[in-house]
Amino acid sequence: MSLPLAETGPQAQPPRSRPERLKVLVDLLSSMRFAISLLTVICIASVIGTVLQQNQPAVNYVNQFGPFWAQLFGELHLYSVYSAWWFLLILGFLVVSTSLCIARNTPKILVDLKTFKENIREQSLRAFGQHAEADFSEAPEGLARRLGEGLVQGGWKVRLQPRDTAAGPGTGWMVAAKAGAANKLGYIAAHSAIVLICLGGLLDGDLIVRAQMWFNGKAPYAGAGLIADVPARHRLSENNPTFRGNLMVAEGTQSSTAILNQSDGVLLQELPFAVELKKFIVEHYSTGMPKLFASEIVIHDKATGALTEARVEVNHPVNYHGIEIYQSSFDDGGSKVRLQALPLDSDGARFEVEGVIGGSTGLTRSQTGEKFNLEFSALRVINVENFAGQGGPSGSGVDVRKVDLRDSVEARLGAANKVMTKKELRNVGPSITYKLRDAAGQAREFHNYMLPVDMGDGGAPVMLLGMRETPAEPFRYLRVPVDDQGGMDSFLRLRKALGQPKLREQAVARYVALAIDPSKPELARQLQASASRALDLFAGNPAAAKGSDRPAGGLQAVADFIESNVPEAERPRAGEVLIRILNGVLFQLEQLSREQAGLKPWPNEAKTQAFMTQAVLSLSDVQAYPVPLTFVLKDFTQVQASVFQVARAPGKTVVYLGCALLILGVFAMLYVRERRVWIWVRPESGGTRATMALSSNRKTMDGDREFEHLKIKLLGLAPASRDAAEGPAPN
């Protein structure tokens, strides 16, 4: 029976043993290319974490990227990069890789620091790029000791070695010297710094928290309700060694539970103390940006009951038993607001509703039975807007205090005739932000100012009623003119009168009677027909929009009618006539509405014209307002809250130590040169011959000057050139 023979050709590879495989793995982990690859991935992840806002609500990412990409980025944990499992794993691999690199090279470096490499041969010295020879009359031993002392005086570490030569045993001497050993110590310091910084990042990151989730049964909480009702499996102990969370405390209240945001919910961190906010202080610049915000707090120790008063400011945290309390931001602490609902259609009644910022209340529209949920989102007491060259608040709608880098640069660069645009900043008073959510859960967000705003364009002051469909959009504002009482009553009466056919007929008749001589009945009938058609189109009467496929109401309906029924050449003239007629009829309609309310008619003056001009535009725009009512702020009681960041960070000291080592290591590697000098001294022809060579880890001009200096000082040779001998030699 024959057995098959194993291949013995050149392609046959014997299987590697386990020690060999382990050695290959260690070589890979400790290699520079592996560490550089890890650092590259960490840099890319850090860029993503900087550009992409972290730990935002999921709906924000859906609005920004769309459902598909938002879900994909969520699966990759790009919304919480620095706590993602793959980021922590990369940091762990980098720690292992750098530690192995240090373990492999440190013994060699330490041995190299102790050796002088005095066994080098004379032939090797002559092969150096920087070498020189000189003859002396002194004995070899005396010359060697004199040269060694000269090097010691220059800051070199020196070792003398006697050697055998043809003249006899021990007649030759090798003078070996070295300097700049800190260069290699810098290598150890820099690599150790990377390990320490990564370890500090892992300690102060989510690694410990995630370990408790993996091994201790903790899980994020994704529900709603009171903090006291959250089960224990979603809470972390007071003895948690490391955490970083947010703590919001309203004025006059206290809290002892911090919130740790996770990608799929939150964890509650119990603190060994409670923070009471006595007073929140905020100061503003003229632009409306906060100049200073600080909190006067009282810390209630749970174990001892001791009370500690403190003041927390930005960049001035308070440390209490190893836990840092930082001033992070501020928010509304549950301000009480009173809103008045104003109907924007011809039906409906006014009513008032009270609530608390952050709360909500249910509403039912009596005409249709439709249910809404009114959510009180935010109260802003100060709104500083820029009115220079814009005619009002910027397109962002909420906050004009943004920085446009391109505009800022272009304002300062370019032609000499460029001048910076002046800003006209003005505080326009409080505003309220709320949401109306329908039965299907869809919500629109509204932002209304409390006080009338003079837009600075010479027109009537207006109430700004903002609306947007999604948080990604800017607010769009409906500008409603205010009357002489500073309210929207006149506009709302006009809006209601516009929806009543009888009042429209009376307004048309009054307008015709004032515009046409009674002796011209035919002309009066024509004007009455045109005025009725224009007013009905503007009011959104479908019967008046015959011939137009878009009976939307407002100025758009008038424009559509003209486009559908008037030849193109005659449209500008027809449009001008209809708008003039429409303005006159609407003025008479406003006068009728005031008569019904028992008010004096408007005087025919510039102020009245400004009001009516804006009223016509507002009546047209209100057709597109998505809800039949708006809420204006009537009164409020502000309650402020301070948002603290509380952190127990044992890795902070480790990171600081790592940063110090990194600075020292990089400085040593960049600015300290390792140099070695050898001088071979041997007897020759009744005298002594010295052969010197210098070696450096970097080829620099300083090295050339230093060698020339040593040639002059030790060997007594003339400088090779004037430039080479200039300047003091470094030690």
Q: Which helix (H) or strand (E) holds 341?
A: strand 336-343
The residue among 470, 482, 450, 425 whose CA lies nearest residue 335 is 450
pLDDT over 70 (residue 236): yes
Strand order in the sheet with 371-380: 360-364, 371-380, 431-438, 443-449, 462-468, 476-481
pLDDT over 70 (residue 396): no
Q: Any long-range contacts for 719-725 (C-beta under 8 Å, 24+ apart)?
A: none
Average pLDDT, the chain: 84
Give residue 318's pLDDT band: very low, low, confident or very high (50, 70, 90): very high
The dihedral built from the CA positions of residue 650, 651, 655 and 657, taken in this order, carries a sign that is positive
Give residue 157's pLDDT band: very low, low, confident or very high (50, 70, 90): very high
Give residue 177's pLDDT band: very low, low, confident or very high (50, 70, 90): very high
Q: Phi-psi region for residue 391, left (φ > 0), alpha (ψ -120 to 50) or beta?
A: left
Report the distance separating Cα 79 and Cα 52, nearest Å: 7
Rounded to an integer, the average pLDDT of 693-697 is 91
pLDDT score, position 22: 81
What pTM does this model have?
0.66
Of 72-76, 289-293, 633-637, least confident by mean pLDDT is: 289-293
Give residue 75's pLDDT band: very low, low, confident or very high (50, 70, 90): confident
Rounded to an integer, the average pLDDT of 559-572 is 87
What is the b/e burial string over 361-384, where b = at least 16 CB atoms within 10 angstroms of the residue's CB? Answer: eebeeeeeeeebebbbbbbbeebb
Rounded to an integer, the average pLDDT of 612-639 is 90
The dihedral built from the CA positions of residue 607, 609, 611 and 613, taken in this order, carries a sign that is negative
pLDDT score, position 723: 46
Q: Is 423 exposed, middle or buried (0-12, 13-18, 19+ CB in 10 A)?
A: middle
In the chain, pLDDT over 90 holds for what percent of residues?
A: 37
CB atoms near residue 580 (< 10 Å)? 11
CB atoms near residue 298 (< 10 Å)? 15
Report the distance separating Cα 322 and Cα 320, nearest Å: 6
CB atoms near residue 512 (< 10 Å)? 24
- What tens digit of pLDDT does each residue of 253-280 get? 999 999 998 777 889 999 999 999 999 9
- What tens digit of pLDDT does each residue of 448-498 get? 999 998 887 778 899 999 999 988 788 999 999 998 888 899 999 999 999
Alpha helices in 444-570 (DSSP H): 489-498, 501-515, 521-539, 554-565
- What tens digit of pLDDT does each residue of 323-376 get? 999 998 888 889 999 999 998 876 678 899 999 999 999 988 776 777 889 999
- What tens digit of pLDDT does each residue of 96-153 get? 999 998 998 899 998 888 899 988 988 899 999 899 999 999 999 999 999 999 999 9
For residues 441 and 339, the model is more confident at: 339
Rounded to an integer, the average pLDDT of 224-243 is 88
Rounded to an integer, the average pLDDT of 676-698 is 90
The dihedral built from the CA positions of residue 248, 372, 476 and 449, taken in this order, carries a sign that is negative
pLDDT over 80 (residue 57): no
Report the distance separating Cα 255 and Cα 456, nearest Å: 46
Report the distance separating Cα 341 and Cα 77, nearest Å: 43
pLDDT over 70 (residue 377): yes
Q: 553 is written with which tokens?
A: 């109401």
Rounded to an integer, the average pLDDT of 615-633 is 90
